[in-house]
Amino acid sequence: MSTAVLENKPTVPEEVPTFTATLIIRRFDPEVDAEPRWEDFTVVMQGTDRVLDALHKIKWEQDASLTFRRSCAHGVCGSDAMRINGRNRLACKTLLKDLDLSKPVYVEAIKGLPLEKDLIVNMDPFFESFKEVQPFLIASSKPEKERLQSPVERARFDDTTKCILCAACTSSCPVFWTDGQYFGPAAIVNAHRFIFDSRDEGASVRLDILNDKEGVWRCRTTFNCTDACPRGIQVTQAIAEVKAAVLRGTP
């Protein structure tokens, strides 16, 4: 056998260190429980495991009834927003090693939306608000070619294109908790995405919708939404820009 072949032989991976994590999860089964209850689980995890991996491990090895949403597992689909140690985060983007594992990790459903089961809430009110701001391109003409836009025009709404509709912002907003009628930050972010798009012709309609009593003026600029956003969107700034546009009556 040649030396080159020997040098290319696969290396045996070093053993990955393991650690123990205790998760205290707020459980609720509407068929059994009158009220939510806390239940603790201890799991052995390793390396760069995330809270989502711990939830999977609990479901697969300890309690198959544990219920939560997830799809992509990589911060793209927005389906696994939950409160982890009191902060809204995506379970798939929260590394266990970044949490203080000398204490239990508290996991519960996001607030302000009807609790359905364990970590799952009813997202219908959230998506109703989203739909109300008309989050799609409105244009009267049908061009022969693509609608051109300069880099500067594109940059105007770049930040708000990053939204994955996870609801972490809206469900961290104290106004939304106390007043289910408020559109909430995510709907305003998605209105911003089109209001400031130079190709769109529906800004005045959206600004009118957001000037409503349930619209942008309910925002109290607490910055919870910006802190919660897993995409790093400057949510409060986007809301401020929409407020200014409402006052001007134009983007």
Q: Is 95 in the site for ligand FES (CB under 6 A)?
A: no
Q: How far is the CB of 167 from ligand SF4 (least distance, A)?
A: 5
Question: CB–CB of 120/68 below 8 Å?
Answer: yes
- Exactly one of 43, 66, 90, 186 binds ligand FES (CB under 6 A); that residue is 90
Cα gap 25→27, rounded to integer Å: 6
Q: Closest approach of Cβ 80 to ligand SF4, in Å?
A: 11
Q: Which of the choices ligand SF4, ligand FES, none does residue 189 contact, using the CB cut-off of 5 to 8 A by kind?
A: ligand SF4
Pick between residue 25 and residue 189 the one whose CB is nearest to ligand SF4: 189
* Six token digits for residue 90: 């995506």
Residue-by-residue DSSP string for 30-70: TTT-SS-EEEEEEEEEETT-BHHHHHHHHHHHT-TT-----
Pick what 77 binds: ligand SF4, ligand FES, none; C-beta below 5 to 8 Å, kind-dependent: ligand FES
DSSP tag of 195: H
Distance CA(6)–CA(133), nearest Å, equals: 63
The residue assigned the tokens 């820009």 is 241
Binding at 76: pick from ligand FES, ligand SF4, none (beta carbon under 5-8 Å per type): ligand FES
Site string for ligand FES, 54-83 (x = CB under 6 A): ----------------xxxx-xxxxxx---
